[in-house]
Structure 1
Amino acid sequence: MRYAIVGLGSRAQMYLDACVGAHRDVAELVAVADVNRGRIGHHLRRIGADLPAYASVEELLAAQTVDRVIVTTPDYTHASIVIAALEAGADVIVEKPLTIDADSCRDIAATIEKTGKSVTVTFNYRYSPRNSALREVIAAGQIGKVTSVHFEWVLDTAHGADYYRRWHREKAKSGGLLVHKASHHFDLVNWWIHDIPTRVYASGGLRFYGSENASARGLVDRPPRGSIDVASRDPFMLDMRENPTLKALYLDNESYDGYLRDQDVFAPGITIEDNMSVIVDYASGATMSYSLNSHSPWEGYVVSVNGTEGRAELTVVERGAVLADSGRPVVDPSASPEMVAATESRPQSEKLVVQRHWQAAQEVPITGGDGAHGGGDAKLLRDVFVGASGDPLSRASDYRDGVRSIAVGIAANTSIATGHPITIADLDLRTDLSWPT
């Protein structure tokens, strides 16, 4: 099949490598597109390919015939690119989230219905062995019917801070972390308990990052961009000169589009939250309480699932405390997404415990693999390029999975803005959210 990739930032790397590597027998990469020709040049040199390259998806589709388009651009551009590809007769694979608001979700749904083409939203966290293990426990009925879920996710001051440096810092571009990041988490819960979210209430705010919080804590006279050196590092400043990947992709190519990858996390202009709490009701009657904090000293998550016959608890420490030694963090804040993924593939600790009523607690073994996300990315890519088959956990995701996940985040954003609970049906997303039988 003929593939094109639109968006050549960090996330595109695994798809580029798959097309020219492990899945080149079924995938022919015929073209790429990005607004920044410097990033195009970097990736094509890296994979040793001489391919037609374009500045937009429209130019690419006008010049090339493709079967499938892979979209790894900033979230706010997803809808227009997905729609253009569908109307050109191509199927689409898009990184989560599908899009960032209800209007664009409706537009995508209408285009899918009109064209009959397919959209796949990729959720690699489903494939992490620890998350698959929890799905197996619940699906096997070991804790009975699910009644409630508590899900706490913490991002540390290396990885978490990065969302406030990049385009993600603007809610109009990312939908905030409740859409961009938490769509992973909401998808996991929807998939774990095989249920449909129906109502959402949320609260949140910017309480750590941003210029107002910096002033309140006396963090004034911030070092100017590009002035940081190793000896006098501010741990919240990013020096891309120290990271070959970030330097090659972003610092060296700023002149092409003006994009700054290393903005100060305490500078003005941040419109997303850094502390969020959400209550979600499900069609079955179950309820989830969810929280996300992006300035924790360690990174990972704790999930507790209560059922009519017991309880399952999954605790994962992806990275331990970010300690400072002479002002330099142990986990460098300039860590690239590839470095973050590699760290997540080797969590510092993970533990899944199941306890049935009136019985002793039992630890469930978690068997991991090699590669990012415990070998999960390799399995995801096989499902994307070769096709899913024979998976009792149904980890392969489709368009409706993407809508179910962002429905919670969109409703949560609306709830924060209005102060009221939001019924997901009232969002009118034009999609049947029921699970296939």
Structure 2
Amino acid sequence: MSDRTRYALCGLSARGIAVFAGPLAGRPGDDTSGGYTADGELVAVLDADPDRVRRYADAVGADVPWYAADSFGRMVDETRPDVVLVATPDHTHVEYALAALARGLDVVVEKPMVTTAADAARVVEAARRGPGTVRVTHNLRYAPRHVALRRLVADGAIGRVTSVELVWNVGAAHGNSYFRRWNRTRAASGGLSVHKGCHHFDLVSWLVDDVPEQVFAYGARNFYGAGSPHDPGAGLDAAARAEADPYRCYAPDGASDPSLAYRVQYPEPLSAYDPEIDVEDTYSAVVRYRGGASLAYSIQFSAPWEGYRLGVNGTHGRIETDLYYGAAPLPPAGNTPITYYPLFGPARTVPVDGEDAAHLGADGPLVADLFRPADDADPLRQRASSLDGAYAVAVGEAVWRSVADNRPVDLAELLGTVGQ
């Protein structure tokens, strides 16, 4: 018998290929992928599109059995995986996570863990009953810049954390894509405060090593959907409207893109102005943490540049950093250091290297820790648990609920007793 861990993948999505299938079985056109075949093997793929699985298998020369989306039980019985990898559309994560846990299997799920706090609580409780475990791939914990920030905070460089400022800009090239696919409805994604915001809420909770408790937020749909100021108008025919769309240069073109990882999205992108869009594209929020710190957070999904500005304040100083993706005149990723300002003493900079790889340099270390961990030690607590995933989702849900109700939202109201 092989000592390799047996993995079954639910969802041959772009992320499923990049983080799960690629390292285990290969990526199309990438001779360096499949680097973890000595440690694990991909024994099954469950996906709604058999043609997508066939094209993937042909592209990488893999012979992996395909199972329909409703055949989870048969897949497990026939292929006997040790671990179930989940990278299906967000709203289906809970189905496969709970089914795997019910069979005593370990689960690795792409963020967000689920799309609602109620489902998050169900997953946490199921994991507590054991023996299966849940791990959420919150990859921002592995980015070199964030690892350096976490070490500074953990080493007490700024004393007790008092507040965090995080302004995140999603560039128009990236942001408009969410509104041309399934992310554009709350039913499918939980809203972008969950789908995208969970990245940021988990990052902050991890950086300050604290638990979020209460959220107050404002939000709106300013750029996309019906009534957008950028919609060229319903009086045009489809071709003319597409040509007049200012976002046209950003519209994904799955038919011409050679990457199989991208073609798993819509072959014919939807309009970013469709009336079915029901999620916000702009948020401002304040989050209170159990230890007394607070977060001031904002995000927009149609910015001229992509990146963030982050400051962490403490009783003994401040840490701050900027990160920009790309275009001049802004500095490229990797050229902006972390600056540490002690309350009494001169400032110093901390250089950051290794950000030129995927997702700010995070994906490589994440994949290595998933498939070939050096040992069981996790000194910076980078391995996100089901409870970590639940908090990130609950903050995201609290944001849109606060927007809708114009009131503070306690996370205990959404998660019940699972975090106590």
TM-score scaled by length of structure 1: 0.85
Distance (Å, rounded) in 2 between the aligned partners of 1:235 and 1:268: 22
In structure 2, runs of 5+ residues without a counterpart are: 26-33
What's 2:269 paired with? 262
CA displacement 1:39-84 (0-9 Å, x = unmatched): 1112212221112101122442243311101000111000011111
* Residue 68 (structure 1) aligns with: 83
* Aligned residue type for 1:299: E
1:208 pairs with 217, 223, 246, which one? Answer: 223
Q: Aligned partners of 2:257, 2:239: CA distance in 1, in Å?
A: 16
SS in 1 for 2:248: coil
Pick from 27, 34, 49 the counterpart of residue 47 of structure 2.
34
- Look up the SS of the partner of 1:99 in the other structure: coil
The answer to whether the aligner puts 1:51 opposite 2:64 as a matched pair is yes
In structure 1, how many angstroms separate the alpha carbons of the residues matched to 2:237 and 2:344? 58
Q: Aligned equivalents of 1:235 and 1:102: distance in 2?
A: 36
Is 1:17 equivalent to 2:30 in the alignment?
no
Distance 1:429 1:60 in 2: 33
- Structure 1 window deviating more from structure 2 (364-373 vs 146-155): it is 364-373
Name 2:124's counterpart in structure 1.
Answer: 109
Aligned to 1:271: 278
Matched, 1:298 2:305: yes
Q: Which amino acid aligns with 1:77?
A: T
Matched, 1:376 2:362: yes
User: How many angstroms apart in 2 are the aligned matches of 1:64 and 1:284?
Assistant: 46
The Cα offsets for residues 172-215 of structure 1, whole Å up to 9 and x where unpaired, read as 11011111011111111011000010111111011111121147
Q: Mean alpha-carbon deviation: is it higher for 178-187 or for 219-228?
A: 219-228
1:385-424 correspondence to structure 2 within 5 Å: 385-387=371-373, 389-424=376-411
Matches within 5 A, 1:5-404: 5-14=9-18, 15-20=20-25, 21-56=34-69, 57-214=72-229, 219-221=233-235, 224=238, 234-245=248-259, 249-250=263-264, 262-320=269-327, 347=333, 349-368=335-354, 371-387=357-373, 389-404=376-391
Deviation readout 1:255-294 (Å, 9 max, x if unpaired): xxxx566111122211111100111000111110100100
Matching residue of 2:31: none
Deviation at 1:430, TM superposition (A): 4.3
Q: CA 1:233–1:218 in 2, change beyond 3 Å: closer, same or farther?
A: closer
The alpha carbon displacement at 1:113 in A equals: 3.2
- Letter in structure 2 aligned against 1:275: T
Unaligned runs of 5+ in 1: 252-258, 324-345
Normalising by the residue count of structure 2, what TM-score does the alignment of the two structures yield? Answer: 0.89
- Write the letter of the residue equivalent to 1:205: A
1:359-381 deviation per Cα after TM superposition (whole angstroms, max 9, x unaligned)? 33221111226631344212111
1:426 aligns with 2:389: no
Q: Is the 8 A contact 1:318 1:348 kept in 2?
A: no
DSSP 3-state at the match of 1:117: coil
User: Deviation of residue 226 (structure 1)?
Assistant: 11
Once the two structures are superposed, residues 305-331 of structure 1 have per-residue CA deviations (whole angstroms, 9 ceiling, x without a partner) of 1111111111000233799xxxxxxxx
Amino acid at match of 1:10: A
Deviation at 1:392, TM superposition (A): 3.2
Q: Which amino acid aligns with 2:21?
A: L
8 Å CA contact retained: 2:189, 2:195: yes
Q: 2:8 aligns with which of 4, 18, 22?
A: 4
Work out the CA distance in 1 between the residues paired with 2:180 and 2:206: 31
Q: 1:286 to 1:247 in 2, by over 3 A?
A: closer
Moved more, 18-27 or 6-15: 18-27
Q: Deviation per CA, 1:87-107: give whole Å up to 9, x if none.
A: 122110000011111221222
Alignment-mate amino acid for residue 361 of structure 1 = A
Cα contact 1:9–1:249 (8 A) shared by 2: no
Q: Shift of residue 118 of structure 1?
A: 0.4
Runs of 4+ in 1 over 4 A off after TM superposition: 217-223, 225-229
Structure 1 Cα separation of the partners of residues 98 and 87 of structure 2 = 14
Q: Secondary structure at the match of 1:401?
A: helix
CA contact (8 A) 1:170 1:271 kept: yes
Count, aligned residues: 403
Give per-residue Cα distances to partners, 1:221-267, cap 9 Å, x unaligned: 566379968xx99335333333112697347xxxxxxx566111122
Provide the C-alpha distance between the structure 2 equivalents of 1:367 and 1:114, rounded to a whole number of angstroms: 41
Contact 1:178 1:409 in 2 (8 A): yes
| Cα distance change, pair 321–203 in 1 and its aligned pair in 2 (3 A) | farther
